[in-house]
Each structure stands twice: as C-alpha cells, then as structure tokens.
Amino acid sequence: MSKQKNVVLKLLIVAAFLVLLIANSSTIISPIRTKLIDVMSIPLKTLHGLCEISGRIIPFSSLKEENKILRARIDLLNRQLEESKMLTAENQRLKDILGFKNAAAYSTIPAEVIGRDPSNWSNSLIIDKGALQGIKQNKAVISMRGLVGRVLELGRYSGKILLITDPNSKVSSVIQRNRQGGILVGRPDGKCKMIYIALDSDVTRGDRVITAGFGSVFPRGILIGEVEDVGKDPGLLYKYAIVRPSQDMTKLEEVLCIK
C-alpha cells in the first residue's frame, strides 16, 4: 500500500514539474498551455495539500515525543516533591517526640510502630524495640498526646503493645477536675469506659481523665482523654463515663516506652 502511495506521489511531482515547465515555456501555443494548466490544477492542488499536511505532521510527531518526555519529567518531579513532604513531616514528628521525651518527668525509650497484631488488629500494635533496647514488660507506653497502653509481650528486638482501647485493658484513673476515681476499660469502638464512678459525682462532659498512679504500670498524672458522655446502667450503684482517648490509636507512628 505504501509503495502505491509513493508511485502516486512521484507521478504528481512529475506532473507538477511538466506543468511548471509548460507554464514558463514561450514556445508552446497559449491556448494549449492554458488547457494543460487547467487539467493539471486538481493534481497540483492535491500535491500542495499533501505538502502542507506533511509539513504539519512532521513537527507534530516531534512535539508529541517532546511532550511525552516533559510529562515523564513532571511525574518524576511530583514524586520527588511528595517524598520530600513525607520526609519533612517525619523529621518534624521525630523532633517533636524527642523534645517531648526530654521534657517528660520520667525516662522513656522512643520506638516506631511497625505493624499491628493480625489477631487483634484494632487494639494492639507492634514496635521496633525490644528487651535488648531496654524495653520492659508491663510498663506504660505513651505518645505526645497521652496514654497509649502497656507492653504486653516482649521479644529481643520487638514488642507488642496492648492499647487502652482493648477490652482486656484496665487502668486506674481519676477525673482531673474533682479527683473522682474509677477504672478505665477499653471498648471495641476505639473509645474507653470509666466505671465505678460514685453516683453523687458531678462528672460532666468535657472533663479530662488522667491516670491515678496506683500500682507499678502507669505513672500518675498521664492524660488519658476526655469525657464524652455520662450514664448509669440499670441495677448498678455507680455511674460510668464514655472517654474519648486523647491519642487517636489509628494514627500512631511513634511512641515512648516508659522505663
């Protein structure tokens, strides 16, 4: 098919050459020359159109390739920009947690969250530090926002943290404003429930809940969260409070393990 097109194009070029030759010749009778030019006007017009089209197609192909290269470069720059933003954000988080570590009233070891326990995805997590790095079992784990949980299991290079939102978690706690005590237990919905609150307590929505400091696991005064709702179960002689943890457990990336 391309060979036939080449033949046609060559014939058109030859015809155009003859027409130009005839048009510029003074020896050929004028009426004959005029008729020949008229006859060849359509092939000439076709040839002229083909020349214009080829003139457009050639640079268009070049521009298309250049556009492809430029788009690839833009994609690369966008990826580098996103990576730079991520590194900047991570660097700032590490600076913040280091500053918090230095300002804390107790000695801590920073650790990075590297995963979640598949058997208990929503209420436990895995960190990249273990016994060889000084992490101890049944010690509290915090973040810059507040209490996270405690070290449940410990390996040489990693540890498993039981979050305060786990139903198996129990933390002695108090309402910061009125010092009303209770026990904080986890809930499947990612919140906590403070139970054994005295019926005559004036605990209200917005009250801050902190650790009571009983026992050797959780030091006193660590922020746990804020009261969202207060109620009483039928037949029980105490109130309860629904507490929203100050730390969103689904967004944890770094933690501090108390020594």
Q: Residue 210: inside a domain, yes or no?
A: yes
pLDDT for res 82? 75
Amino acid in position 66:
E
Amino acid in position 254:
E
Q: Residue 179: inside a domain, yes or no?
A: yes
CATH number of the domain at 190, please: 2.40.10.350
Which residue bears the tokens 């498993």? 160
The model's pTM is 0.63
Strand partners, 141: 149, 257
Residues in contact with 183: Cβ distance below 8 Å, sequence separation at least 6, in sequence order:
170, 171, 172, 173, 194, 195, 196
b/e sequence 86-108, b meaning 16+ C-beta within 10 Å: eeeeeeeeeeebeebbeeeeeeb
pLDDT for res 163? 96
Q: CA-to-CA distance for 76 and 203, rounded, in angstroms?
A: 55
Last residue of a domain, one of 41, 64, 87: 64
Q: Residue 87: inside a domain, yes or no?
A: no
Q: Residue 74: inside a domain, yes or no?
A: no
pLDDT for res 48? 60
Which residue bears the tokens 């009250």? 207
pLDDT for res 117? 73
In tens digits, the chain (259 residues) has pLDDT values of: 455 555 555 555 655 555 555 555 545 445 555 555 555 556 656 656 655 655 555 555 667 777 878 787 787 777 777 777 666 666 666 666 666 556 566 788 999 999 987 766 568 999 999 999 999 999 999 998 999 999 999 999 999 999 999 999 999 999 999 999 999 999 988 899 999 999 999 999 999 999 999 988 999 999 999 999 999 989 889 999 999 999 999 888 889 999 8
Q: CA-to-CA distance for 36 and 18, rounded, in angstroms?
A: 10
**Could you give the number of structural domains in the chain?**
2
Residues in contact with 256: Cβ distance below 8 Å, sequence separation at least 6, in sequence order:
97, 100, 101, 104, 108, 109, 110, 111, 141, 142, 143
Last residue of a domain, one of 26, 46, 64: 64
Q: Residue 129: inside a domain, yes or no?
A: no
What residues make up the domain containing 208? 170-247
pLDDT for res 67? 80
